[in-house]
Structure 1
């Protein structure tokens, strides 16, 4: 005897949907699951029955093969639900980043003469697999000639839906941090180390950040900021090329070079990410000190240029 399954309460159903959303599952592809094990077994049987040296078309004998058998994959019956959806899922090209792909990324990024061209080039770049699961490209926003440039880690769910960086809770908190030292959000340039949201808001892998590095470097070159701020540990490690923890690295001024010309080596500093500060309010005192140091640096540069 099988016990009857009671339906979920509205609260439990809402909690389950929220859990799927936080895990990065925000769309249904089919009403019925696919039996990957059966498909793999059918493909293995097909390869086993395939002759090592296929006969030529002239000498090939006509053999009746029942529809749906492993030897006739083109007529293989689709799982229930998949046939109703219009056939098998389309094959998606998954890139494996290597030195050739990275070199191609450098060449593509270097060819962009403006931020608009860089965005278009990045939108057509297919060697980063994050684009397969993201809803939109989150390129960056703010003043294209800003004195201050902020670099975060990766887009979150809200950023993925909006197509702009730092628009969720952490973005709203970042706006308040900037306002505290007299800066408006639209006066600074904001972007991330990778322009696509990783599935489930996980951290980008080293391969993913490396394949996107040329585009971020070109982004900085085109903006030519006077000060660079890395928000969070992943951003600091990628941009500043360090392995120190963020709590030891934050608040210390260093330099970043995006060229060999005058003005192409600029002050840079790591700060705690706004999302981390929302989880650890006690660390806000460190962020306030860093903000005051940032304001002092910007004021000194403005006075020197005047």
Structure 2
């Protein structure tokens, strides 16, 4: 009789707990889970690794110092023909990939005056010669006015013309500092081999390359020295085509050049 009463009492208590929302059965007393021993996870065996050889490591491509390569190549040449070959073979200037022609020089290499321009334009890229477009035609007229030119038969009245860069920049943009730096060793070697009496720097880019300065409106007409030779910054003929009023300053610079040629000849 006693056990029967316990059954019905326990069942009534269980139904009462279910009505209250109890869902799980637990122990008679709370469990202190912090005091329990941690259950160690069963260690899984390491996956089998196929006995295959590892792929070889690819060699790391070292960065090329284009300026150093250009300096070494320029130092090895002993004449202008070899210099042109070395420059044309130089593969570290990206301008070479987009240009049509390699533009090295024009005029008489024995001339007393060497002109250094910026870079070939569209017409120069087509012809493979520097200063052949409208700017080149104006240049010829300017120097013809003082009795010298690229087609003169005598070196004393001749002109020798080159550029800082031998390849045309896209859309005739201004050469950047990296392009100027990598081609500078070739330009310096070019001047040394040509050995002119006077170097004329046409525009900002050759001034940046050889004098380390820009600001042609302030520098023009002022004599400097490059590789032991007198040099004269002048406005680029393309600038004169856009600003005809500046031709007065260009004429003054030409007269200064003419007088300097006379002084150099006398000494």
Q: TM-score, normalised by structure 2?
A: 0.74
Matched, 1:215 2:191: no
Q: Is the 8 A contact 2:111 2:196 kept in 1?
A: yes
SS at match of 2:188: helix
User: Could you say if the C-alpha distance between residues 97 and 113 of structure 1 is closer, same or farther in structure 2, counting changes exceeding 3 Å?
Assistant: farther
SS at match of 1:185: coil
Matched, 1:285 2:241: no
Runs (5+) with no aligned partner, structure 1: 1-52, 58-95, 258-264
Name the CA distance, whole Å, in 1 between partners of 2:51 and 2:190. 56
Q: Which residue of 1 aligns with 2:218?
A: 248
Give the drift of 1:54: 11
Task: Spell out, residue by residue over 1:213-247, the C-alpha distance to the aligned partner (whole angstroms, 9 max, x if none).
Answer: 1110110010011101100011112111224x111
Name the CA distance, whole Å, in 2 between partners of 1:114 and 1:222. 6
Q: Is the 8 A contact 1:97 1:128 kept in 2?
A: no
SS at match of 2:226: strand
SS at match of 1:158: helix
Matched, 1:172 2:130: no
Q: Is the 8 A contact 2:106 2:150 kept in 1?
A: no
User: Could you say if the C-alpha distance between residues 207 and 55 of structure 1 is closer, same or farther in structure 2, counting changes exceeding 3 Å?
Assistant: farther
Q: Which residue of 2 aligns with 1:39?
A: none
Map 1:1-306 → 2, pairs under 5 A: 56=52, 100-186=65-151, 187-243=158-214, 245-257=215-227, 265-304=228-267
Over alpha carbons, which structure has the higher Rg? Answer: 2
Name the CA distance, whole Å, in 2 between partners of 1:251 and 1:301. 17
User: Could you say if the C-alpha distance between residues 303 and 131 of structure 1 is closer, same or farther in structure 2, counting changes exceeding 3 Å?
Assistant: same
Give the drift of 1:127: 0.5
Q: What is the RMSD of the two structures over their aligned residues, measured on CA atoms?
A: 2.1
User: Could you say if the C-alpha distance between residues 124 and 294 of structure 1 is closer, same or farther in structure 2, counting changes exceeding 3 Å?
Assistant: same
Q: TM-score, normalised by structure 1?
A: 0.64
Provide the aligned length of Structure 1 versus Structure 2.
206
Task: Spell out, residue by residue over 1:14-51, the C-alpha distance to the aligned partner (whole angstroms, 9 max, x if none).
Answer: xxxxxxxxxxxxxxxxxxxxxxxxxxxxxxxxxxxxxx
User: Could you say if the C-alpha distance between residues 117 and 286 of structure 1 is closer, same or farther in structure 2, counting changes exceeding 3 Å?
Assistant: same
User: Could you say if the C-alpha distance between residues 282 and 124 of structure 1 is closer, same or farther in structure 2, counting changes exceeding 3 Å?
Assistant: same
User: Could you say if the C-alpha distance between residues 202 and 302 of structure 1 is closer, same or farther in structure 2, counting changes exceeding 3 Å?
Assistant: same
SS at match of 1:145: coil
Q: Is the 8 A contact 2:100 2:126 kept in 1?
A: yes
